[in-house]
Amino acid sequence: MTMDDLMNMQGQGHVRLGSSAGQALTRRDGMLKVTGAATYAADNRPDGLLHAVLATAGIAKGRVTHLDVAAAEAHPGVVKVYTPANAPRTALSPDEKIHPFVWRMETLTDDSVRYAGQPIALVLAETLEAAAEGARLLAPRYEAEVPRVTLDDAEPFETDTTAFGRPAGHASGDVDAARSGAARHVTATVETSQQYHNAIEPHAITARWDGDRLEIDTPNQAIGLSKQTFAAFLGIDPSQILLRSPFLGGGFGSKAILYGGQLLAILAARDLGRPVKLVLRRDQMYGPVGHRAPTRQSLQIDLDAEGNIAALEHDTVTLTSTFDQFLESASNASHSLYAAPNLRTSHHGRRADVGTPGPMRAPGEAPGSAALEIAMDAAAQAAGMDPLEFRLKNYAETDPSTGMAFSSKGLRDCYTEAAKLFGWAERSAAPRSMRQGRLLKGWGMGTAQFPCPMFQAAAHATLRADGTAVIETSAADMGQGAWTALAQIAADGLGIDIDKVEFRSGHSDLPDAGVAGGSGHTATAGTALFNAGADAVRQLAELATNDPASPLFGAGNAGVTARSGRLYRNDDERSEPYEDILARAGLDLVRGEGKGAREGEPDRAMFSHGAVFAEVLVDPDLGQVRVSRLIGAFAAGRIVNPRLARSQLLGGMIWGIGMALQEEAVHDRRSGRLTNADLAGYHVPVNADVPMIEALTVHEDDPYVNALGIKGVGEIGVTGTVGAIGNAVWHATGIQPTRLPIHPESLI
């Protein structure tokens, strides 16, 4: 890194990274995890621990008329039973929205039941077994009302905003005029199912008060923000809280949000003067901690005589709970991908007796992309064009919803690379025209796209006299490898080898790394870490170039380059190790600080892109679908760690297999309860469902997205893939998918 580079860091200049970023390193925390040495929240057992178990509602609507608290309290080992009659209260109203990541806190405030699985009591006991038995002995009785749990019977409402306050509608151009002048009109409707996050590690918390100081162990995707939220609801100062989240066993969005159960455990610990641990059972993760709501999407694409999109309209109807609002912004998937000169999108809400939905891997984009890509194949057919040819013809050179240029768009390369590897040119156009033995073979494709948000992060980087460094930021590693990728970026900012870097992370006493969500964590926290390292190096360079005893003396104008723990003159061969610079200055360390955030309003449209090609084999008699090949190529800016990025992309694509063919939580319409709230009945892909899969990345330099050129890879793999599989099934069978996951009976 040259001094010029260092200076450019402060502006929009594109910084060339050193030797660590780009390496396919294995996870730095991998050994801890595979040996069981990693401590997850539920692994903590402070002295005097009480175990908490939630009792949850067995009806979906009505109220609790009786809980046998006496029976529960009489059970040996049970210490306390909290119900709405005696539960400790939060300092803020549970309805208070102090920032966009706050959902209504369910803290046993009243006896009403608003969805099946809602917490109705909390039992504290000396052992987990006693707490579980106590919860069972409560034997709730209810006054039940008829619940409404599906899109068909839910209560419609109109809204101006969808998830996180995004506008619910968009219009550019004149869709109606363009439609009346169009040569062909294509419509498609696609329904997507409700999905549950099912992280391997359930939601868990261990809470311990030491006087006024609170220690919390809970897996969390937004450590700094969550500390603030806990503090506000507890009525204490954030400085009184230490939140530890060193490891997360998956999050997928559900651990970016705090839920009432966590607050109840903390309040119980304060009330009882003992540490409390609450771990949700698998079935308790189906309701109180968010899910992806079902959608019903309608698209219309109007084409001119040459097969250009004249108008595109995308409407979404989706569910939220009766007491809070989170709407899948699925229609937004149509905003920025294809060149639609006339564009209209909308969302409509419905309220049902279900838990409040929340962000789940590619929220909005995943179901939206699925419907959009199936509609694009419908349009390609109407235009008499190959699906790839049609997409290339309607390739957006600028973002049609904003008119902005893209910061970069490597999508053409993605199409080319993935199509070549897949062998797309050999596709026979007619449906049902390809076979493998008695099985119908289908080939389909989808375009992947995901935005590149940045949050706000801060970091410290300390270079020590022995040439090693400590970097600090409270990043969340939920399995994606953040600690590894971020350490690589930090090492390059510091100009030292990564094995010299100690990474302190995962708790709230460190500088805030922002939200691990929106596929923006590496970009945000990475920028902060790089800047912190660069700040430390700048201080070193200043020391050396002003010190007559240094070989770097006077090199200020030509600049110096930091590499492998030394500063090199740019005007000749001379160099000096960091240790010598510090020693001569009589310093033990230099400490740099950095921030990561996007400055001002962006004037470019910033997205990752990709192309996914799928081959399916369909049993013509049974309707059973197997994905036999799945190939994606992605343009996602600078790839910090190819091994981790590939793993993220594959994970997203496999998620897409589940969304297309398997994942679906089903309500019993009479009881309002889920029929499959467990991993036996809720199907996700296993190895046998993924015989051949590959994810490539294509080179992409994005000089605008951030100074490091980093985009995200965590969520984009879900997009594109679902539509590709749906289109492959359509090609195999001649039956256009209208409902995801695709059921075998819809194909026979």
Site residues, ligand MOS (CB under 6 A): 221, 251-253, 256, 359-361, 363, 517-518
Q: β-strands 469-472, 457-464: how paired?
A: antiparallel
Q: How far is the CB of 479 from ligand MOS (least distance, A)?
A: 12
Nearest residue relative to ligand MOS (C-beta):
253
- Give the whole-angstrom CA distance, residue 317 versus residue 345: 11
DSSP state of 406: B
- Listing DSSP states for 208-268 in one string gives EEETTEEEEE---S-HHHHHHHHHHHHTS-GGGEEEE-S--S--TTTTSS--HHHHHHHHH
Q: Is 713 helix (H, G, I), strand (E, B) or coil?
A: coil
Q: How far is CA 534 from CA 46, 500, 737, in A?
A: 40, 16, 52
- Between 202 and 363, name the residue whose CB sits nearer to ligand MOS: 363
Report which residue type is found at 7: M
Q: How far is CA 674 from CA 58, 148, 271, 535, 665, in A?
A: 10, 12, 34, 53, 7
Q: How far is the CB of 347 from ligand MOS (least distance, A)?
A: 18
Count CA within 13 A, CB hemisphere, residue 641: 27
191 included as an active-site residue: no
Q: How far is the CB of 292 from ligand MOS (least distance, A)?
A: 9
Q: How far is the CB of 718 from ligand MOS (least distance, A)?
A: 10
Q: How far is CA 75 from CA 62, 123, 395, in A?
A: 28, 11, 67
Q: How far is the CB of 504 from ligand MOS (least distance, A)?
A: 23
- Between 221 and 641, name the residue whose CB sits nearer to ligand MOS: 221
Q: How far is the CB of 515 from ligand MOS (least distance, A)?
A: 8
- Give the whole-angstrom CA distance, residue 432 versus residue 447: 23
Helix runs in 440-553, H state only: 482-494, 521-545
- Between 357 and 493, name the residue whose CB sits nearer to ligand MOS: 357
- Between 219 and 518, name the residue whose CB sits nearer to ligand MOS: 518
- Between 103 and 252, name the residue whose CB sits nearer to ligand MOS: 252
Q: β-strands 739-740, 184-192: how paired?
A: parallel
Q: How far is the CB of 641 from ligand MOS (least distance, A)?
A: 19
- Between 391 and 521, name the residue whose CB sits nearer to ligand MOS: 521
- Between 254 and 408, name the residue whose CB sits nearer to ligand MOS: 254
Name the helix (H) or strand (E) containing 441: strand 439-451
- Give the whole-angstrom CA distance, residue 485 versus residue 525: 10
CA-nearest of 103, 289, 321 to 201 is 289
- Between 511 and 518, name the residue whose CB sits nearer to ligand MOS: 518
Query: Using an 8 Å Cβ cutoff, are 141 and 113 in contact?
Result: no
Residues 6+ apart with CB under 8 A from 42: 201, 202, 204, 206, 277, 279
- Give the whole-angstrom CA distance, residue 466 versus residue 325: 53
Q: How far is the CB of 480 from ligand MOS (least distance, A)?
A: 10
- Give the whole-angstrom CA distance, residue 367 versus residue 731: 20
Catalytic pick among 215, 663, 700, 715 = 715
- Between 287 and 359, name the residue whose CB sits nearer to ligand MOS: 359
Q: How far is the CB of 163 from ligand MOS (least distance, A)?
A: 10
- Give the whole-angstrom CA distance, residue 587 versus residue 509: 25
Active site residues: 715
